[in-house]
A and B are shown apart, each in its own frame.
Chain A
Amino acid sequence: MSIEAINEQLLRAIGVGVALLDLKEFKFRFHNDTFAEWFGEPDADARLTDFFSSLDPEALREALSDGGRFATETTFKVKRRTMTVAMDFNRALDGGERIAVLVCQNITRIKELESMIDSYSMMVERNTRELKREKEQVEKLLLNMMPRSVYEEYKTFGVVTPRLYDPVSVLTLDFCGFGDMVATLDPGVIVSELNDIYSAFDRIGEQFGCERIKTIGDAYITVSGMPDAAPDHAMSVANAAIRFLRYLKQRNGSHPVQWQCRIGISTGAVIGSVVGVQKYIYDVFGPAVTRALRIRGHAGPMSVAADGEIAQLVEAKFNRISMGPRELVGGTETEIFRMEAVADQPQTYGSQS
């Protein structure tokens, strides 16, 4: 067998579709078995456009005229399977006659894989977005339970080191007659009202640099001076306390359910830490919290009570009216004061002098 014959046999048997075309009329000069298998057997007068009607012969001729190449793709169905074939035209010379060599490669599998990767990528991207959204929700939830710096520590190390914060100021608040309200009002109404009021308190507290620690039923505790130390911590809680009262008065004017609160404020040291293993909360406790709770017990409805220490720290902007000595902790008596703002408009956090 001659070399030419071997070459032709190889060309016929190869798994790539090969055809030779004259450039004048795009008639077939040669095609191999694979080409015929995919596109059918061209007869003597068959032209390229008979097989590929979407091909623009002028564009093809122009692309090949300066010795360039022309690449395109075609798809067709074999039974119910979509086949995609990449077609590559290259110009060649055959004894001075201009011809084009057409090489067709089956890229069906590549297309299928591309579709699969697209599909999979979209799934993964969607899941990633969902995970991110869930993570943000969890983060939001945890940030509602603890200060950001504590959350960052928890996220990084998985534990929170208990810390002593000194000095800080603590504001505790509860509602007069809450037990009766719970017994008489619809639970849904109670919760919705508390949500509304606590959200407002959180906003006001934030405005004055207070970090709300927790609510237990009708008890609300917020602290200033932690996690970051603040020189005006006492002024912050006093200002927030007066604003809480103003907010409630305003609200009672337009709401059917009337809320009367009592507030106790105190200053001193607290410990802040995540407490609990499975069901953990961030909590603060210590002398300042205990005193604020006891002082609150002596406050009248819609008033703020304080001890001498914090009253002295805020005397520039708050008048104190003595309520006399009261027993707070361990049987000792301490003078308690009702606090009233000197000015109608306490300045907001960050602009206090």
Chain B
Amino acid sequence: MEQTLFQKYGGFSKVSRIVLDLYNRLLDDDDIGPFFDDVDMARIVDHQTKFISSLLGGPASYTDEQISRMHHHLEIHTRHFDRLSEILAETLTDHGMTPQDVETVVQGFEQRRKLIVV
């Protein structure tokens, strides 16, 4: 069986650090942060954990329908999506992921653009 990026980069122990780092960067970002203004901390962390785990082929996966439903009430525009993509790539790079793997993850995220952007 082919190894997922989740396994390649050390499973949850490593991914947990990426999740917390991404969480901090997103909350500090003035474009993306406001989306989390009224969201309970536990829910944001849960979302980020599943988000990163699913992008890396870990023990989470979302159907297109679920992704659409989770974001349909949010006014997410192209610039927000681009910014999140950027932050995601920076975070993964800073955690030692190879450029090729970062590209793979970002592409996976990109494929869901139409489900998220209004």
| Contacts from A to B (Cβ < 8 Å) | 79-82, 84, 109, 111-113, 115-116, 118-120, 123-124, 127
Structural contact, B23 and A112, CB atoms closer than 8 A: yes
Which A residues touch B65, using CB under 8 A? none
Q: When chains A and B are docked, how far (Å) is the Cα of A127 from the Cα of B57? A: 13
Closest to A127 in B: B59
Interface residues of B (CB under 8 A from A): 12, 16, 19-20, 23, 27, 33-34, 36-37, 40-42, 45-46, 48-50, 53, 58-60
**Which residue in A119, A123, A127 is a CB contact (below 8 Å) of B45?**
A119
- Within 8 Å CB of B48, what residues of A? 116
Given contacts A116-B16, A116-B20, contact A123 B53 (CB under 8 A): yes
Q: Tell me the nearest residue of chain A to B37, going by C-beta.
A: A80
A sample of 10 inter-chain contacts (CB < 8 A) reads: A80-B33, A113-B20, A115-B42, A115-B45, A116-B20, A116-B48, A116-B49, A119-B49, A120-B53, A123-B53
CB distance from B107 to the nearest CB of A (A): 23
* Tally of A-B Cβ pairs under 8 angstroms: 51
Given contacts A112-B20, A115-B46, A127-B59, contact A120 B36 (CB under 8 A): no
Which among B16, B59, B60 is the interface contact of A113 at CB below 8 angstroms? B16
Q: Which 9 A-B pairs rank lowest in CB-CB distance, beginning with the nearest? A: A82-B41, A119-B46, A115-B45, A115-B42, A119-B49, A123-B59, A127-B59, A123-B60, A116-B49
| Inter-chain contact B12/A111, CB cutoff 8 Å | no
Tell me whether A116 and B41 are in contact in the complex, defined as CB-CB below 8 angstroms, given that A80-B33, A123-B60 are known contacts. Answer: no
Query: Closest CB of chain B to A81's CB: distance in Å?
Result: 5
B58 cross-chain contacts in A, Cβ below 8 A: 123
Q: Give Cα A82 to B58, complex, Å.
A: 27
Residues of chain B lying within 8 A (CB to CB) of residue A124: 59
Check A82/B60 contact, CB under 8 A, given A113-B16, A119-B50.
no
Residues of A within 8 A of B37 (CB): 80
Q: Which residues of A contact B50 (CB under 8 A)?
A: 119, 123
Q: Could you tell me the distance between the alpha carbons of A322 and B53 in the complex, rounded to whole angstroms?
A: 73
Instruction: Say which residue of A112, A118, A120, A127 sits within 8 Å of B12 (CB atoms).
Output: A120
**Residues A118 and B34 in contact, CB atoms below 8 Å apart:** no
Given known A-B contacts A80-B37, A82-B40, A118 and B46 have beta carbons under 8 A apart: yes
Chain B CB within 10 Å, residue with most, of A79, A116, A127: A116
Q: In the assembled complex, how far is the CB of residue B46 from the closest CB belonging to chain A, in whole angstroms?
A: 4
